[in-house]
Amino acid sequence: MGLIKTEKFSESQNQIALFAKAFGHPARVAIIQHLFKINACVCGDLVEEIGLAQPTISQHLKELKNLGLIQGTIEGTSVCYCINKDNWTAMKTLLNDFFNNNLDSNTCC
């Protein structure tokens, strides 16, 4: 059997691609921005804040949680979400290193 495509790339390259996926939909960007704005865990008011249906919000929360950018805790019948500070910091470091690459000269095309 062939290699899984992600196995052809470094761990860093795969991580950058996964983190970039988090910002690939404006709803996920809005969710992250809202979590930073309130600077606390959110338990259910995202539907009103973001303006999307609950199943859609849940799917985006699941994506963000699977990527490790947010974490959730169960409180009663609700799941409360907040930014995973350690993973957010690791993502920022990785992406900063990537985006801080500079061209040494302008000799291209």
Domain boundaries, the chain: 13-95
- Helix, strand or coil, per DSSP, at residue 93: helix
Instruction: Answer yes or no: is pLDDT of 30 > 60.
Output: yes
CATH number given to 13-95: 1.10.10.10
Q: How far out from the chain centre does Cα 64 lie?
A: 5
In the chain, what's the furthest Cα-to-Cα distance? 61
* pLDDT-based confidence at residue 109 (cuts at 50, 70, 90): low
| Helix 11-22 / helix 54-66 crossing angle, nearest 10 deg | 160
Q: What is the pLDDT of residues 45-95, one digit of tens each?
A: 888 889 999 899 999 999 999 999 999 888 777 788 999 999 999 999 999
**What is d(CA 81, CA 72) in angstroms, rounded to the nearest whole number?**
4
Tokens of 81: 């979400």
**CB-based contact 24:69 (threshold 8 Å):** no
**CB-based contact 24:32 (threshold 8 Å):** no
Given this model, what pLDDT does residue 106 score? 66
